[in-house]
Structure 1
């Protein structure tokens, strides 16, 4: 397995020049060892950088000799698909540019670049303002109720208990989907009403677990998990799939999607696991929590990321004020 977590090289990666492949592997090893990035993040870096290095190889340009003009032309090719790949949105192109910035900064720090760090002179594509769309509390309740509704087929009752517990945790502790599926039995302390989460870069944090989430988790661990675990080989994972192995992120996504479909028409917008995390943060701020506390609960490295949710709260309060206050209407 490669350092980026992929079991085999892609067709584009196999076509890289030997020197470019060495640069890629050295940088990914740096990210894994020095910065502690997760396998999923490394895989994303690998995809973006493989496309970039393939573009340079086709143009017969050495990565250590790239200048800002080359980078700007590549960025334009990304947006249009002229490099042979699919055309990318501004957000996806910005993500790719971030990966390339890191690579050139690494080459500059290692003193192998002949042009310094060319990425510093290339502006990031402008992105539209995108605020998270949290669910209303009654929509959250409809989603949770739908998740706990048994369907048909084998283990439907056990899976309903699991699905309800999973969604209760996603909303009740604001966990990322990878943090929830990565939970082990020893990570949950029911006496202390807390859970140990492993976030990005394998950073750990302890978060409080509320009564509703604990009750749903207890019901699943008592009446749901044992039947699922009987088909496996003794994994310590909290959430199990139908074969008794750890529930994958993809399967957890399907759980949320099925619950959202079953909760219609209460839900009018597409729902993802991150929607519950958005809702968790926004509802905390609505309830009076301070931004720094929410930052710690979410595991954000920077408070700037958390402050995005304060804008959602301000917008909501502005709407409430405009509709409820007698002198808030325009022209009053």
Structure 2
């Protein structure tokens, strides 16, 4: 068992730490694991055995190997030494990925690396944290794409009256009315929808639960979909509380990628030229609320942001509204 295999077992333990102690989502953990496998193996995610596929026997053998390699023949307690664990090796790796990936991707990979080293240091698996001595790229904060009200109307009117069309209309109405993330939408069950209160219970990042609200239009389309079309898509089955709210034509839960394709399809049909994803509807939801005078803290709660700074990026659009008010109200404007 070589030191690389032992490091991959450390990575397996780190993944468990992210899940159990940090409460990270499965998508975030998967991204971190793939980024760190690329660092450890220096050959990308392909071609290596899945970290989480190690058997208990392999893990025990790897741990024994790591301990043995961390001790010299005289019994000193030197820690495992590999290129990726040295400052020069880490800097070399970062230079390599900067030549191959965009700045946001490089920043994400470095974030994963720093978290991993902090974990190893905390567990006393390494003496020094080389990531403290490397710098990531500076990122300019990009303003989120946003649809105007006329574009939203065109998008929502694009689906037809088929079962799939009604499902897609209800899906996009819910995204725009609630501002929920696409992963939250895909995770919805029928029992998460409270028709009487016009609200939904969603599980957001870090498994945090919150309530989102629906407007009259979103509720009307959702009721039509559930009453007349859910069973048609589900092979004639009647909806049960634990069933997925939005289903495919194979009666399975919609994936995030499927929702992305749905929104992109209707954006094209509606003649919307700007790039659009399901997250665009989340941005649009927040922007339109702030333009309408909503309090920033309220928008923060509705979006499920843990910090107000994340929500503040949407205030740039409110400046346009403030400018219009200023230009029409100030006597010398």
Structure-2-length-normalised TM-score: 0.82
Q: Structure 2 residue aligned with 1:189, among 166, 188, 194?
A: 194
1:180 is paired with a residue of what secondary structure? helix
- Structure 1 residues 16 and 113: CA distance shift in structure 2, 3 A: closer
State the shift of 1:120 in Å: 2.4
2:101 is paired with a residue of what secondary structure? coil
CA distance in 1, matches of 2:207, 2:118: 23
CA distance in 2, matches of 1:111, 1:22: 15
Q: Structure 2 residue aligned with 1:165, among 156, 162, 170?
A: 170
1:9-63 deviations in whole A, cap 9, x for unaligned? Answer: xxxxxx9821111111010010011112121111111111111111299xxx836
1:108-150 deviations in whole A, cap 9, x for unaligned? Answer: 11111122x222232221113310121101111110011x324
CA distance in 1, matches of 2:314, 2:184: 20
Task: Please identify the structure whose Cα radius of gyration is greater.
Answer: 2
Q: Does 1:21 align with 2:40?
A: no
Q: Which residue of 2 aligns with 1:51?
A: 38
Aligned residues: 295
State the shift of 1:106 in Å: 0.3
Q: Which residue of 1 aligns with 2:152?
A: 140
Q: Does 1:130 align with 2:132?
A: no
Q: Structure 2 residue aligned with 1:35, among 22, 46, 59?
A: 22
Q: Does 1:93 align with 2:106?
A: yes
1:67-118 deviations in whole A, cap 9, x for unaligned? Answer: 43332222111011xxxxxx10111000000000100000111111122x22
Q: Does 1:103 align with 2:116?
A: yes
2:290 is paired with a residue of what secondary structure? helix
CA distance in 2, matches of 1:51, 1:238: 37
Contact 1:231 1:244 in 2 (8 A): no
Structure-1-length-normalised TM-score: 0.83
Q: Which residue of 1 aligns with 2:284?
A: 279
CA distance in 2, matches of 1:296, 1:104: 33
Q: Structure 2 residue aligned with 1:296, among 276, 280, 301?
A: 301
Contact 1:205 1:299 in 2 (8 A): yes
- Structure 1 residues 16 and 243: CA distance shift in structure 2, 3 A: farther
Q: Does 1:212 align with 2:217?
A: yes
CA distance in 2, matches of 1:41, 1:101: 15
Contact 1:132 1:312 in 2 (8 A): no
Contact 2:203 2:209 in 1 (8 A): yes
State the shift of 1:268 in Å: 2.4
The within-5 A match list for 1:234-313 is 236-264=243-271, 267-313=272-318
Contact 2:203 2:210 in 1 (8 A): yes
Contact 1:32 1:42 in 2 (8 A): yes
Q: Please give the root-mean-square deviation of Cα atoms over the aligned residues, in Å.
A: 2.4
CA distance in 2, matches of 1:136, 1:101: 39
1:124-180 deviations in whole A, cap 9, x for unaligned? Answer: 21113310121101111110011x324xxxxxx100110000000110000111111
Contact 2:180 2:212 in 1 (8 A): no
CA distance in 1, matches of 2:43, 2:168: 46
2:124 is paired with a residue of what secondary structure? coil
Contact 2:299 2:311 in 1 (8 A): yes
Q: Which residue of 2 aligns with 1:6?
A: none
State the shift of 1:227 in Å: 0.5
2:97 is paired with a residue of what secondary structure? helix
Q: Structure 1 residue aligned with 2:207, among 189, 202, 205?
A: 202
Q: Structure 2 residue aligned with 1:79, among 74, 92, 98?
A: 98
Hey, which bits of structure 1, 4+ residues long, moved more than 4 A? 231-235, 319-328
The runs of 5 or more residues in structure 2 that have no matched partner are 45-79
Contact 2:186 2:254 in 1 (8 A): yes
